[in-house]
Structure 1
Amino acid sequence: MKRTIQVEGFIYNEKKDEILAVRRRDLSWGFPGGTVEKDQTMEEALIQKVKQQTNVEISIDSLLFCRERRTEWEHVCTIVFKATAIGDFNRPINDESVFRVKWLSIPTADGLLALEKTPLNKLIFDKGVLYDHLNEFPVS
């Protein structure tokens, strides 16, 4: 069974009451992010994937929740972090890995994002939990 760790960023613009969303190649909307590579921490992967997909730099605030999906052939764990955009983030730019990047209003995003039973308003006010990692093996 193939095991994969995915990371996604819930990036909220408090001034405009919008979140950053990406429209993937399968035309579904979601949070920016991607797969954690062998030599990355989850934080490093999320910062790199968000920058690559949207040209928005972020800092990680907290860990919000985890989704897990398991079938006979794969096991995928998706970790969602609350993050803050750094600097000028009004004009996201997408790369070839996503179809579109857009700041969406909360009502619009609530209708487009497939978060199962988690309303976005809950995520906005949720402080999450501290994310900390210990690298026992130095990166060469």
Structure 2
Amino acid sequence: MIRVDVVYALIYNEDREEILMVNNQGSSWSLPGGAVEIGEPLEQAVIRETKEETGLTIEVENIVAVNEAFFKEKGHHALFITFKAKIIKGEISIQDENEISGVEWVGIQRANELMPYHPTGVQKLLKYSSIYTFQG
């Protein structure tokens, strides 16, 4: 199987208690993110992918979740790393309409429905934290 690393940004609006999510063209809703390029640090990948999908520049905080899955039909072994992040500049705008059909703030309950692979729910992710360090 081919290893595929994928990063996501968990961006939370505390005032409105909403999570920023993207609607992937022809697929489902997810957090902003995508595949890590060869030789690319995880932190840079999540910043790049979030900018490509939402038009926003983010600051990356700690890791809040690591998920793993086998996609036998594609021959992929995927590792999903979710970082908590905050917006530092920009306005929401779809950068590639062939890839993303929508970017929306959704309530926590709806985010839980859209991301069943986090069985403890988004509320727990907001409390979790594991230090990420790029050692060069």
Q: CA deviation at 1:112?
A: 2.3
Structure number with larger C-alpha Rg: 1
* Matching residue of 2:20: 20
Task: Show the counterpart of 1:51.
Answer: 51
Counterpart-to-counterpart distance in 2, 1:62 and 1:116? 17
1:11 aligns to 2:11 (yes or no): yes
8 Å CA contact retained: 2:21, 2:104: yes
Structure 1: distance between partners of 2:53 and 2:5: 18
SS in 2 for 1:99: strand
For normalisation by structure 2, the TM-score amounts to 0.88
Q: Is the 8 A contact 2:70 2:78 kept in 1?
A: yes
Q: 1:71 offset after TM fit, Å? A: 4.6
Q: For 1:119, which of 118, 121, 127 is the aligned residue?
A: 121
Mapped to 1, the partners of 2:86 and 2:122 lie a distance apart of 15
| C-alpha displacement of 1:29 | 0.8
Structure 1 or 2: larger strand share? 2
Q: Report the count of equivalent residues.
A: 132
Post-superposition offset of 1:26: 2.6
Contact 1:63 1:129 in 2 (8 A): yes
Q: Which runs of 5+ in 1 are unaligned?
A: 136-140
Please give the residue correspondences for 1:23-38 in structure 2 after superposition, counting only pairs within 5 Å: 23-38=23-38
Q: Distance in 1 between matches of 2:117 and 2:101?
A: 19
Partner of 2:95: 95
Q: CA deviation at 1:116?
A: 4.0
Aligned partner of 1:138 in structure 2 is none
User: Share of identical aligned residues, percent?
Assistant: 30
Deviation (angstroms), 1:63: 0.6
Tell me if the contact between 1:29 and 1:114 (Cα under 8 Å) persists in the aligned partners: no
Show the counterpart of 1:134.
135
- Map of 1:75 onto structure 2: 77
Q: Secondary structure at the match of 1:131?
A: coil
Q: 1:70 to 1:115 in 2, by over 3 A?
A: closer
Which runs of 5 or more residues in structure 2 are unaligned?
none
Question: Which string of whole-angstrom CA distances, capped at 9 and with x for unpartnered residues, describes residues 57-92 of structure 1?
Answer: 11111011111112552211111111111135xx41
TM-score, normalised to structure 1, is: 0.86
